[in-house]
Amino acid sequence: MSFSVTILGNSSAKPTPKAHPSAQVVNLNEQYYLVDAGEGVQQQLIRRGINPLRLRAVFISHLHGDHCFGLFPLIATLGLEGKRTPLDIYAPAPMGEILDYHRKYFWDDLPYEVKWHEVRTTEHYIVMENNTLEVWAVPLRHRVPTAGYLFKEKEPGLNVDKFKIERYGLSIAQIVAAKRGEDITLDNGEVIPNSMLTYKPYNARSYAYLSDTNYSAKAAERVHGVDLLYHETTYSDKEAQWAKGRGHSTTLQAARVAQLAEAKRLIIGHFSSRYKDHNALAEECRTIFPNTDIAIEGEIFYIEEQR
């Protein structure tokens, strides 16, 4: 199964000629989820070859414009494109009031349902779940109620070794029981431990999106062991006091979160417009967490299966 993250925007609040505000698409086995929706997100989707109609849900971290101003024209465009199935939007309050306002004045004839689900930003809990995925809210420390999101692939079912099926002459019923995790008793009374018959086809993977936040050791704990971690890095280490007052993180703080979380890989973004050289910011992170990359617009980060 494919698991990837496409970067649509990597800048902070102030617009620049070449950078777009926060937005990403998580793709798990051709199921597409939009994470934050800064201005121009629908154009960015089209530029990156992602059909907006394929979006299953939208996750908004907080109600600052550079993270949600692109959502409202996107909803209108989806109607023009012929969307008929509901669109689930997960966001903190008062997003419901904002959606109601747009519905009253701009979406009176919208041909599909927009379903808002309130995200409780002080709780670590599952906000969405389906057959293949869990999405957890991760409380963050910003100037307004904010949640990051942890995308966790569900554990795959057990496979039965076909050579063991032949060796022990397992019946269909015994194969099904083995897939449920049961030990198998043969006709001669011999008990075969489940671990000798089955294997996990791959290890479940995970991606964490930690948007605007001060340094948070608690957030690191809640995404512990994550395969790919995105962490905002608005400022360099020299601007630590400024970052603290604005509810943001520095390069070294992001790196420390990745280190504490024992993440396999870190990507950084949400850069202040004052920085023209993002490589310098990445180099600061690498002094603590070497496996750091830049969230370059248009880049796709793949989370490979680990067997």
Alpha helices in 125-234 (DSSP H): 162-168, 172-179, 194-197, 217-222
Return the pLDDT at 217.
Answer: 97
Q: Which residues contact 13 (CB under 8 A, 6 or more apart)?
A: 21, 64, 65, 66
Alpha-carbon span 1 to 155, nearest angstrom: 12
Among residues 36, 66, 88, 212, which one is catalytic? 66
Return the pLDDT at 212.
Answer: 96
* DSSP three-state, residue 252: helix
Regarding pTM above 0.85, the answer is: yes
What number of CA atoms fall less than 13 Å from residue 305's CA on the CB side?
Answer: 11
The domain segmentation of the chain, as residue ranges, is: 3-157+200-302, 159-199
Which one, of 94, 101, 47, 49, lies nearest residue 75 by Cα?
101
**Residue pair 136/125 in contact by the 8 Å Cβ criterion:** yes
Alpha-carbon span 64 to 21, nearest angstrom: 11
Alpha-carbon span 54 to 78, nearest angstrom: 10
Question: Per-residue pLDDT for the chain (307 aa), expressed as one digit of tens each?
Answer: 799 999 999 998 777 777 899 999 999 999 999 999 999 999 999 999 999 999 999 999 999 999 999 999 999 999 999 999 999 999 999 999 999 999 999 998 999 999 999 999 999 999 999 999 999 999 999 999 999 999 999 988 888 888 888 888 888 888 888 888 888 888 888 888 898 888 888 789 999 999 999 999 999 999 999 999 999 999 999 999 999 999 999 999 999 999 999 999 999 999 998 898 999 999 999 999 999 999 999 999 999 887 6
The CATH code of domain 3-157+200-302 reads 3.60.15.10
212 is catalytic: no
Can you read off the two tokens belonging to residue 168? Answer: 């022990």
Can you read off the two tokens belonging to residue 224? Answer: 């512990």
